[in-house]
Amino acid sequence: MDIQASDVKTLRDRTGAGMMDCKKALVECSGNVEEAIDWLRKKGLAAAAKKAGRVAAEGLVGVCVSGNKGSIVEVNAETDFVARNELFQKYVDSVVEIACRHDADIESLKAVSYPETGRSVAEELINLIAIVGENMGLRRLAQLSVPNGVIASYVHNKVAANLGKIGILVAIESFGDKEKLLDLGRKIAMHIAAASPVSTSIDDLDPAILEREKAVVSEQAKNMGKPAEFIGKIVDGRIRKFYEESVLMEQIFVIDGSSRVKDVVANLAKEIGSPIVIKSFVKYVLGEGIEKQSVDFAAEVAAQLN
């Protein structure tokens, strides 16, 4: 039977088994990938497939800044214990450094060569799964860059240099003093970690978010029996409050507790004699959006004993 190279690669990516074993499995299963996975598992040759269905919501967020470019990645594992594993930490650190050297999305990053192994980034993760014994996943990647200015970073709940549970990148455009810009950027990154803005400026705010907020406030006002002629003013007032709560430049700066972020930026721009634009930011919180399983350990142990 003619076995496609693409099917062999797919099977290898999903199982971590060797190329020849994958090809043999496909021959034995008439080219059916799913049946080939089971064939490898029965032979004890599949390292990753056994764990692929298990929820991986722990792990690490890694950041890397090189010149005017920054990258942030999230790599997941099943337990926090693995996040403290040196092999896992080395992998996350290496992957985010690789990302900093390439303009890549998450899928193309997986295909990049992993240093000193002869494997790709994705294949090295499969190898790590086999060594550590937990399901893992390279979940997401973001990159920021500026032609002139700085990229600042901050890691919260740090477990190693540039690795932790929350990671932030901030892109600042300016021709001003880079050290002062980096100091501002780090403080703004810390602010973002605490205040969780949804956009950089009012102009950047997703119109759908704004319309939803207006609809909710309007309906609340109607339900309270407010006269129709007052509802518009009530909505306008609540939207101003929403901006102050949700838009970075409108928020109160958590570092001093009194100034707005836009005023802190404006004051530094005057000091260094150059305009400053907070161009964008990225915030990754480990495991956000992943539905975690609640584990009944007593039941799990009982099941294993049975």
The Cα–Cα gap between 29 and 39 comes to 8
The Cα–Cα gap between 120 and 116 comes to 10
- Give the model's pLDDT for residue 271: 97
On the CB side of 103, CA atoms within 13 Å amount to 3
Q: What does each of the 306 residues of the chain score in pLDDT, given as a tens digit?
A: 788 888 888 887 777 677 788 888 899 999 998 888 888 777 766 655 555 556 567 999 999 999 999 999 999 998 888 889 999 999 999 999 999 999 889 999 999 999 998 899 999 998 898 888 888 999 999 999 999 999 999 999 999 999 999 999 999 999 999 999 999 999 999 999 999 999 999 999 999 988 888 888 888 887 877 777 778 788 888 889 989 999 999 999 999 999 999 999 999 999 999 999 999 999 999 988 876 655 454 555 555 455
Please state the φ and ψ torsions of residue 65, each to the nearest 5 degrees. -125, 130
Residues 261/250, Cβ–Cβ less than 8 Å = yes
**68 token code pair:** 């005017």
Residues 33/17, Cβ–Cβ less than 8 Å = no
| Inter-helix orientation angle 5-15/121-132, to 10° | 40
The Cα–Cα gap between 72 and 76 comes to 13
Which bin fits 290, alpha (ψ -120 to 50), beta or left (φ > 0)? beta
DSSP label at residue 120:
B
- Give the model's pLDDT for residue 110: 93
CATH of domain 58-194+279-285: 3.30.479.20
Question: Which residues have C-beta within 8 Å of that of residue 257, sequence separation ≥ 6?
Answer: none
SS3 156: strand
Residue 49, amino acid: A
The Cα–Cα gap between 146 and 171 comes to 7
Taken in order 287, 293, 297, 300, is the CA torsion positive or negative? negative
DSSP label at residue 249:
G
- Give the model's pLDDT for residue 83: 87
Counts of helices then strands in the chain (DSSP H, E): 12, 7
Residues in the chain: 306
**140 token code pair:** 């997401």
Residues 15/48, Cβ–Cβ less than 8 Å = yes
Per-domain residue ranges of the chain: 5-50, 58-194+279-285, 207-276
Q: Residues 183-209, buried b or exposed e (16+ Cβ, 10 A)? A: ebbbbbbbbbbebebebbbeeebeeee
The Cα–Cα gap between 14 and 122 comes to 10
CATH of domain 5-50: 1.10.8.10
- Nearest alpha carbon to residue 159 among 255, 63, 289, 282: 63
- Give the model's pLDDT for residue 49: 57
**157 token code pair:** 């709940």
The Cα–Cα gap between 280 and 269 comes to 17
- Give the model's pLDDT for residue 282: 98
Let me know the angle formed at the C-alpha of 135 by 132 and 136, rounded to the nearest 5 degrees: 90
- Give the model's pLDDT for residue 12: 79
